[in-house]
Amino acid sequence: MERQRTQVGIVGAGPAGLLLAHLLHLRGIESVVLEARSRTYIESRLRAGVLEQGTVDVLTETGLGERMHRQGLVHEGVLLRFAGRTHRIDFRELTGKAITVYGQHEVVRDLVAARLAYDGSLRFEVTDVRVENLETERPRIRYREPGATQETELECDFIAGCDGFHGICRASIPESEIRCFDREFPFAWLGILAEAPPSSHELIYAHHERGFALLSMRSPTVSRLYLQCTPNESLDAWSDDRIWSELSARLATRDGFVLKDGPILQKGITSMRAFVCEPMRHGRLFLAGDAPHIVPPTGAKGMNLAVADVRWLAEAVEAFYRRSDESLLEQYSERCLRRVWKAERFSSWMTSTFHRGPGSTDFDLRIQLAELDYLTSSVSAQRSLAENYVGLPIQ
């Protein structure tokens, strides 16, 4: 067995793991990032890309914002559509902040490029990964390099589990030491990526008696759209014509809104679930990103929560090395979970307000419409939505 050592071993090269490695590097702390997939895979895996103001600030302050500021689409508001009418929530006026639409895979590309530019250790396509000795001062990660005939043992001071919901890190914590909260929603999203100019310069959240629809975008020439469907929906039942017809119906307005269509480049089904595990730490293992929490995508919080997690984790690790101060490590889980549960609350509220579940009655429909009517006629309610959407402060 080959034996190696680092200060922080990071499992997973998604936004959480890569950004944590970058933040640690800026603080002079060594890390090794291990990823089961190839570089091509992680750089091309399409995910949502709504960045909160705080996430934009973190990427800018750490030297990762050049391409984001050049290619990202800044939105100073969002459009809510119901009962055939459109209402705008002005983020800038209500909060002084905005959001930026910039694909998660683009963030990953920027992070990979930065990691390799300063010769940081980033190992792709590793297998047989497991974490051990988590309750000691020398936890370790065992794994196998591509084509290797022997294992590598990586001794660490800390391990960061940034390997997603289905990763091995959270599963390595004894069941008696962790509590999980889970909710599966009775609907899903059918999402498409289309070669079509966006039909709106800002996102449109549409409530319709046939179900929810969302109009988003990836660039001035590529649109990203979603419509509510059942969790067991078959993509074979959704021809391109049917998708465009249903989106047009759900996004229609009384003043004749026209949805721009085009060739569909990609389509898929996204399940809707909420998940949180407590605590986000076990011994010297710290969980971040999708490993400890999942939010329904309606509130656009997933990657933004990961950024907040690793920002706090990097700060806590730095305090340990510079001042032998473990207080921030002790506070890590509680600090993150306060933000996580607020994001779960907001995302669940957005989901329940815009979607029609199975068994939904006309009474339920009227309550949703009354909620949206109140929201769009109350400045206080709009400010609450705006504050949550652009992102609560990362403190």
- Which residues carry out catalysis? 75, 205, 297, 301, 389
Paired tokens of 94: 């209500």
In contact, 269 and 190? CB cutoff 8 Å:
yes
Beta bridge partners of 285: 159, 282
Q: Which residue has the tokens 């997603």?
A: 164
DSSP codes of every residue in 262-326? --EEEEEEEEEEEEEEE-SEETTEEE-TTTTEE--GGG--HHHHHHHHHHHHHHHHHHHHHH---
DSSP state of 143: E
Beta strands in 135-263 (DSSP E): 140-144, 152-155, 158-161, 179-194, 204-206, 213-219, 222-229
Instruction: Compute the distance between CA of residue 211 and CA of residue 373 in angstroms, rounded to an integer.
Output: 18
Paired tokens of 89: 């929530």
- The H or E element that residue 109 is part of is helix 104-117
Q: Tell me, what amino acid is at 268?
A: G
279: cis peptide before it, omega within 30°?
yes
Instruction: Compute the distance between CA of residue 287 and CA of residue 178 in angstroms, rounded to an integer.
Output: 12
Instruction: Compute the distance between CA of residue 33 and CA of residue 331 in angstroms, rounded to an integer.
Output: 24
Going by DSSP bridges, is the β-strand pair 285-287/158-161 parallel, antiparallel, or unpaired? parallel
Give the distance from CA 264 to its chain's centroid.
Answer: 24
Q: Which residue has the tokens 């006629």?
A: 377
